[in-house]
Structure 1
Amino acid sequence: MDKKMKEILDHAIYGTPEIKPEERALFLTTFRERIHVALTKSQVIKAGTYDEVINVMKTKRNLKLFLNGNLSYSIYSNYIQQANANGVPFTIVTPTTNTPFGLVLADGTDAVSRQSFVIEDDWYIQDTEEN
């Protein structure tokens, strides 16, 4: 059987192959290269909001906010209010694997040239040491 025919049959039987499934599971369905800023679950649970997240929402366009659905709505409602105020669509994702991330703010379609997208505070260190 020729290669093209095998690919067509495999797609019909198994579905379209997913690109970087481990990365997408870790970052709440988005790709690392699209992330502007990401917060761990403890950082999201902490009272208030991170200015870094709000500043990106105010200054960048074509964003999408991904929130960890394993957290309570009341914990991330401040971020949803800010996203609505700044015209940033959001998606609540229920992870199927363990992830330390509670919030990911990413570009909707393009890669972002950024070395680090995490905020390394005590909460971040606590979450990354647990995983």
Structure 2
Amino acid sequence: MNEKVQQKIDHALYGIPQVKVEERNLFLSTIVERIYYALTLKQVQRDMMYNPVLEKMNQEKNLHLYINGNLSYATYSKYVKVANSKGIAFTITTPPHESPFGLVLATKNTAIDREQIFIEDEWFERDMEEAKN
């Protein structure tokens, strides 16, 4: 059988294979090389918004916001309002496995390979400690 035909059959039966599945599960369906910032659940639940995230939303084009669907709308709505005002698409995704991340700001499809994607404050430390247990 032709290799392309077999590939089409396999995709129809089993779906298109995903790359970096564990990474996508952790980072709300995107991959690390595209991420500007990843906020933990507790960081998103805070009343204040993180300035580095807001600044990036104001500066960059071709962004996408990924939101953990296990959070209530009230906790992330402030980020959605900014995203809407800037024309930034967002996706609310419920991870198949528990993820310590509540919000990920990334490019849509371009690798940026930032060294530091976390804002390491006391809320970040708390979530990381809980994730270890």
- TM-score, normalisation: structure 1: 0.92
Q: In the alignment, what sits opposite 2:55?
A: 55
Contact 2:69 2:92 in 1 (8 A): yes
Contact 1:28 1:66 in 2 (8 A): yes
Q: In the alignment, what sits opposite 1:37?
A: 37
**2:30 pairs with 1:64:** no
Q: In the alignment, what sits opposite 2:13?
A: 13
Q: In the alignment, what sits opposite 1:113?
A: 113
Separation in 2 of the partners of 1:113 and 1:22?
A: 18
1:94 is displaced (CA, Å) by 1.1
Structure 1 vs Structure 2 CA RMSD: 1.5
1:11 is displaced (CA, Å) by 2.6
Residues 7-61 of structure 1: CA distance to partner in whole angstroms, max 9, x if unpaired?
A: 4443332121111111101000011100001100000011121111100000011
Q: Secondary structure at the match of 1:106?
A: strand
Gaps of 5+ in 1: none
Separation in 2 of the partners of 1:34 and 1:51?
A: 19
Residues 77-125 of structure 1: CA distance to partner in whole angstroms, max 9, x if unpaired?
A: 1101111111111111111111000000000110113101000000001
1:4 is displaced (CA, Å) by 6.0
Gaps of 5+ in 2: none
Contact 1:48 1:78 in 2 (8 A): no
Contact 1:35 1:106 in 2 (8 A): yes
Count of residues in Structure 1 that have an aligned counterpart in Structure 2: 131
Separation in 1 of the partners of 2:118 and 2:84?
A: 23
Q: In the alignment, what sits opposite 2:97?
A: 97
Contact 2:35 2:113 in 1 (8 A): no
- TM-score, normalisation: structure 2: 0.91
Q: Percent identity?
A: 48
